[in-house]
A and B are shown apart, each in its own frame.
Chain A
Amino acid sequence: MLITCKRSLALLFATSLMLLPAIGFADGWQLNMTEGVTSISKEVYKLHMTVFYICCVIGVVVFGAMFVSMFLHRKSRGVKASNFHESVVLELLWTIVPALILIVIAIPSTTLLKKIYNTDDAEIDILITAHQWKWQYEYLGEDVSFFSISSTPPSQINNEEEKGEHYLLEVDKPLVIPVGTKVRFLVTAGDVIHSWWVPDLAVKRDAIPGYTNEAWTQVEQEGVYRGQCAELCGKDHGFMPIEVHVVSKAKYAEWIGAKKDEVLAIAEASKKVLELDELMATGEEVYNTNCASCHQADGKGLPPTFPAIAGSAIAMGELSGHLNRVINGGAGMPPFGEQLTPVEAAAVITFQRNSFGNDMGQLVQPIDVVTFKQGQ
């Protein structure tokens, strides 16, 4: 009796697990794939559900037969085991029927895959370059290129502050694309393999150094869509989110115009002479966003891979050496010359030379950075 009871419990457990996807739950209990916001993502979702339901039916038949057998054909019920152990008809049947089911699944899969591989012209081409651990977006043919970095503050990650709604799924500068427009992504990487994935767009493409992959999307609904890097890419693989803002065509035009103006504004700002406290404040900010993941917030680094800034020969040495390392990279560190504006570069160098016990007492101005870059 106890055994029967256990078994029916197990049965209940198994079936309830299978039924779960049909029930909607509140946040935190999301069960199923997103339908997404593109025609492709909706078809992907439909195909996913079709195959899932086919699996459920097969499961009910197979497990049903098993449970019936386990209930009826128990020695404790006094049954005698029969001795059949072969049946050509049966064995042919369960070779052919699954094969037919597979063909039924293969047809829509092939059609959908062909749609995903469509190579029609796109209105906008965006080059996505993955770096450890940030994304770079370059609007090809426009004068717009920027880096996109996780904007979740370390205090949230270290549990000193309550986590926001978009914890680890938020960035400083999102990718902006217009609604109802075919956008093509060219995906590549600068160091190791990453993978650019936004579930709502049903786009996941590996970013591979030396190769350029292609994907496209046409989003039908304005909104903010979030994703993450999907291929293990080292220490901060879990901390390189993606944020896509889909806006109206007019807003997009406005945005891209503003981005172009920003380039001029940065050039203007680079000519200013800044005070120490201004530089230190900006520098600390820049340090925490760009440097702290490797060199750590306390400047002690994670030797031997990520050396300390505190007491480092470069931060305490010639300024040109420090400028060179930050702008051109080296010894395993990526170059930040493109990513940081001259103001940011000057500020962070000033900060590094006057923090963590480093006391160079030296101010680095944006113009120094510009001169260094030109003088090379």
Chain B
Amino acid sequence: MAAEQKKTKHILIKLLGLVVAMFVFAIWVMPPLYNLICDVAGLNGKTQGQYVSAVAAEVDTSRWVKVQFVAVNNEGMPWEFQPNEFSIKVHPGEATVTHFVAKNPTDSIMVGQAVPSMVPSNATNYFHKTECFCFNKQTLGPGEEAELGLRFIVDQDLPKAVKTITLSYSLFDVTDMSDSDVESKEQELQALHTNELSILTEFVPDKPRNNYIHVANRMQPLI
């Protein structure tokens, strides 16, 4: 009987170990593993992080790739958010700069985070962002407007079947999670106010702003 109980205890400990291991697996292994697989395989259109190239890419002038830009506001995000140009034709290997415009129409400081997503999913590994506003949170004061820059290179090895790449950004309101960003913005605004300086945009636009085409139901530019 004693030997039996010892064996039972042994089984119990092993099985409890398995339980703990599976719990740990679910919380601490599966999410990072999933992100890793997404990064490697381009699952879910997750784009890669900042790209640093070792060698300057060669421009493949024999081929055109259409890159489209889409802006989506998540619910409860009142910012006006849109790409400066909806579609650009680029050569693979060529570094290109484009801009999105964001405006905070409310009377309080807000923090936004843009989440990128790309289709088709087999293009994600061949689209390199060397600079992107999506790497950081964006803080805008009341009524403030900003041009948000994006610099990218389409890889020469992009599969031949891919002729169009669509990059979409969903803008989320993350003000509640970003107390420090709001505070530093408050201080900045106060400093500006006392110096009677006008509000500057974050990026200096390298293209005039008036050429943007986007979104009906958006009355201001028309009135």
Interface on A for B, CB 8 Å cutoff?
119-122, 125, 127, 129, 131-132, 138, 140-141, 143-146, 186, 188, 190-191, 209-214, 259-260, 262-264, 266-267, 270, 324, 327-330, 332-335, 337-339, 341-342, 370, 373-374, 376
- Chain B interface extent, by class: 35 or more
Out of A188, A266, A335, A337, which one reaches B168, CB within 8 Å?
A: A188
8 more A-B residue pairs beyond the given contacts A190-B75, A324-B106, with a C-beta to C-beta distance below 8 A: A143-B215, A191-B74, A212-B117, A212-B170, A214-B166, A264-B222, A333-B76, A374-B220
State which of B4-12, B64-72, B177-185 sits at the interface with chain A.
B64-72
Which residues of B in the span 109-123 have a Cβ within 8 Å of any Cβ on A? Answer: 115, 117-120, 122
Cross-chain contact B163 with A342 (CB below 8 angstroms) = no
Known: A141-B213, A211-B44, A334-B75. A186 touches B70 (CB 8 A): yes
- Residue in chain A with minimal CB distance to B103: A376
Nearest 5 CB-CB pairings of A with B: A328-B78, A214-B119, A376-B105, A191-B75, A212-B168
- Residue in chain A with minimal CB distance to B69: A140
When chains A and B are docked, how far (Å) is the Cα of A140 from the Cα of B115?
A: 19
Binding site of A, secondary structure by majority: helix, strand, loop or mixed? mixed
Contacts of B122 in A (CB 8 A): 119
When chains A and B are docked, how far (Å) is the Cα of A80 from the Cα of B34?
A: 59
When chains A and B are docked, how far (Å) is the Cα of A370 from the Cα of B214?
A: 19
- Residue in chain A with minimal CB distance to B104: A376
Out of B76, B87, B142, which one reaches A335, CB within 8 Å?
A: B76
Interface on B for A, CB 8 Å cutoff?
44-45, 66, 68, 70, 72-78, 86-87, 105-107, 115, 117-120, 122, 142-143, 161-164, 166, 168, 170, 172, 213-220, 222-223
When chains A and B are docked, how far (Å) is the Cα of A132 from the Cα of B74?
A: 11
Contacts of B163 in A (CB 8 A): 119-121
When chains A and B are docked, how far (Å) is the Cα of A332 from the Cα of B76?
A: 7
The residue among A188, A212, A337, A376 with the most chain B CB atoms within 10 A of its own CB is A212
Known: A145-B215, A190-B72, A342-B219. A211 touches B117 (CB 8 A): yes
7 example contacts (A-B, Cβ-Cβ < 8 A) are as follows: A129-B72, A140-B87, A209-B74, A210-B172, A212-B117, A212-B118, A376-B105
